[in-house]
Amino acid sequence: MTTLAAGPPAPTEHVPYYGKYIALSPERDAIEALERSFADALAIFRGVPEARAEHRYAPGKWSIKEVVGHLIDGERVFAYRAMRIARNDPTGLPGFDENLYVPHGEFDRRSLADLLAEWELVRQGNVAMFRGLPSEAWTRSGVANGDAISVRALAYIIAGHGRHHATLVRERYLS
């Protein structure tokens, strides 16, 4: 199957909120964005010693492990949306509340290495899914959380979301 080499999604393919994540992936190909963004983020997270993985940069903020757990949850949700839309499922998809998900994930009871291994498996599976999409599926749009969004936008959101949080960890947790 072919991947989309036509560049990032147009602003009409997503709500403005997601533009901040999409802008973090300048790659012209969505698969390349997914692979490079993961490698970039993983390099930051693998540099965190296990003894520091439960660090919070301020009261009420997530620990580094919880950030990784959030990335795993978010990626699964975004990829599920992409799969449903790519398969031309017209059903509107619900939103998700990351502030509800994170505490119930109990990520701090796991090792950072275990969480990173899980995230790597999730990303590998999602790259395989996106790589296998037919060309016409990439620009197919559906409704998620009450807003229109394309499959291509979801791929770039996944890539940028990981880069966004890895940057925050580097700047706020590790500085």
Q: Which long-range contacts (CB under 8 A, 24 or more apart) does 111-116 make?
A: 111/50, 111/53, 112/45, 112/48, 112/50, 112/53, 112/64, 112/65, 112/68, 113/50, 115/65, 115/68, 115/69, 115/72, 116/42, 116/45, 116/46, 116/68
- What is the pLDDT, as a whole number, of residue 175? 87
Alpha carbon distance 45, 65 (integer Å): 9
Predicted confidence (pLDDT) per residue in 96-154, tens digit: 999 999 999 999 999 999 999 999 999 999 999 999 999 999 999 999 999 999 999 99
In a domain, 23, yes or no: no
Cα 61 versus chain centre, distance? 19
In a domain, 140, yes or no: yes
Domain with residue 56: its CATH number is 1.20.120.450
In a domain, 12, yes or no: no
In a domain, 41, yes or no: yes
In a domain, 4, yes or no: no
Q: Residue 19 burial (CB < 10 Å; 0-12/13-18/19+)? A: middle
Task: Please state the pTM of the whole predicted model.
Answer: 0.95
Predicted confidence (pLDDT) per residue in 57-103, tens digit: 999 999 999 999 999 999 999 999 999 999 999 999 999 999 999 99
In a domain, 60, yes or no: yes
- What is the pLDDT, as a whole number, of residue 76? 98
In a domain, 109, yes or no: yes
In a domain, 20, yes or no: no
Question: Per the structure, how many domains does the chain have?
Answer: 1
Q: Of the candidates 46, 58, 75, 31, which has an alpha carbon nearest to the alpha carbon of residue 164?
A: 75
Q: Which domain holds residue 153?
A: 29-173
- SS3 label, residue 46: coil
